[in-house]
Amino acid sequence: MQLTVWTYEGPPHVGAIRVATALRGVHYVLHAPQGDSYADLLFTMIERSDKRPAVSYTSFLARDLGADTAELFKEQARAAAERFKPQALLVGASCTAELLQDDPGGLAKALGLSIPAIPLDLPAYQRKENWGAAETFYRLVRGLAAPYAPGPDEELSPRLSDSPARANILGPTALGFRHRDDLQEITGLLERLGVEINVVAPLGASPADLARLGEADFNIVLYPEIADIAARWLERTFKQPTVRTIPIGYGATRDFVREVAELAGVDPEPVLAEARCRLPWYSRSVDSNYLTGKRVFLFGDATHVLGALRVAEEEMGFKVVGLGTYSREWARDIRAAATERGLTAVIGDDYLEVEKAIAEAHPDLVLGTQMERHVAKRLGLPCAVISAPVHVQDFPARYAPQMGFEGANVLFDTWVHPLMMGLEEHLLGMFREDFEFHGEAGPSHLPAGGRRATAEADEAPAETTVAVAAAPGQPAWEPAAEKELKKIPFFVRGKARRNTERFAAERGVSTITVDTLYDAKAHFGN
């Protein structure tokens, strides 16, 4: 067992809560000890949901372990059915209650409720949150849609030529990274293509909606970690093809539109022609040429990492120097992408190993989760969040999708803003000797204090020419080099120092001079 401060995914029952909360008319009864109700805060505090998640807890105490905890579960299940009047009830156990082996599924069946009670047997000590969400969604889809499946020899009725194609959108859940905004963006694309939306699930769907998933002509999987298993069952059962292109970035969105149009039998060109996406031009503009060759490290769930990989290389001109995922079920795809680029993928949920890989890769930008945001802050690196797990700031009040043409615009802004642009660097270089902006100048918004500090610095005795002693194993800095370093703006000065020291150490230089500083700058600038 490994003790950790951070975790990329919760236990499987958190994934089940995400699905239950996304649906309408579904309630989840979770056999769990007091304290496991912490999951409520994920939705009310982080996602800023205006309602509690659709879950009830048995909340048994230590003293209850000597009594009948199974009876506690039956009482809670009966009360939840009477109070919330759901169309379907999910029942399961948390990781702690799993050890009691009370069999929530069998207990719920014995109650003889008038609504379907779907048991969730989620192995808490072998699987994680996304698997739990995927398994819960699959159980619901299969349990509710299977009665309407055609027989082995039964032919499905073909769609009439004059009726619009109908599609299911699968994957969006509660607590999903930008799922609501992605859904709005993709829904708009489908409407412009003339494709009718049959069901969106889990987000906003009811059990009755899940029962009619088989009425669609094809499925669109936006988040494979959640919907892939259910989509493959629908393919086998209802012979529905699946759109698997994930529309993250300009190029992938165009491919997505063409794939949908082919299945729907419509012309994609009018929609592609009216696409309002600034990323292609912005990434080719003069100032953005400074981005070419920037070294980036990618980490997150497999869907967003692979989507970001294409955008980074093909649309932004970045050089990917590292990538990985915590989604072990999708490790094969990430390893294949890494191998193509001569890299070793980081697979796992140990954030310390991820931090080590980032430090060794020396990227200019980190694209990851909220974990990598903290790591990058410690390492003094720019970072943008591209994947769950996320925190409250990644559920913005504004419209900010990651998918579709508008999502491509959001990606450009989100990724570029942490980096110093070419024009910015030019202006900083132009004013580096200015009396108000040079490295030793006081804050310009303060009247006299800053100027007096500068005057006192000018009157200070001349500096010695002896190199400043360094820590063991680190090169020393000549005073002239230290003074030159101070001319670099404070917000990139730390990185310039680290790069120069690494440059010197790799070449066996014991004392850093002004020439060493500029040699390092030229080296890393290339």
Residue (of 503, 521, 509, 499) closest to 476 by Cα position:
509
What are the tokens at 143? 């349990």
If one counts every other C-beta atom within 10 angstroms of the C-beta of residue 507, the result is 12
d(CA 299, CA 87): 39
If one counts every other C-beta atom within 10 angstroms of the C-beta of residue 359, the result is 14
Residues facing residue 477 across a β-bridge: 468, 512
DSSP class of residue 33 equals B
Contact of 365 with 334, CB cutoff 8 Å: no
DSSP class of residue 287 equals G
* Non-local CB neighbours of 223 within 8 Å, separated by 6+ positions: 170, 171, 172, 173, 176, 179, 303
DSSP class of residue 104 equals H
d(CA 412, CA 400): 12
d(CA 89, CA 82): 11
Q: Is 106 assigned a ligand-binding role in the annotation?
A: no
Contact of 357 with 322, CB cutoff 8 Å: yes
Please pick, among 255, 287, 333, 519, the residue that the annotation labels catalytic: 287
Is 287 in the active site? yes
d(CA 19, CA 375): 30
Contact of 386 with 304, CB cutoff 8 Å: yes
Q: Is 423 assigned a ligand-binding role in the annotation?
A: yes
Region for 348 from its dihedrals, namely left if φ exceeds 0, alpha if ψ lies in -120 to 50, beta otherwise: left
Three-state DSSP at 314 gives: helix
Q: Is 181 assigned a ligand-binding role in the annotation?
A: no
Contact of 29 with 91, CB cutoff 8 Å: yes
Q: Which residues are annotated as a binding site?
A: 36, 422-423
Q: Per the annotation, where are the binding residues for [4Fe-4S] cluster? A: 36
Feature table: binding site for substrate: 422-423
Known catalytic residues are 287
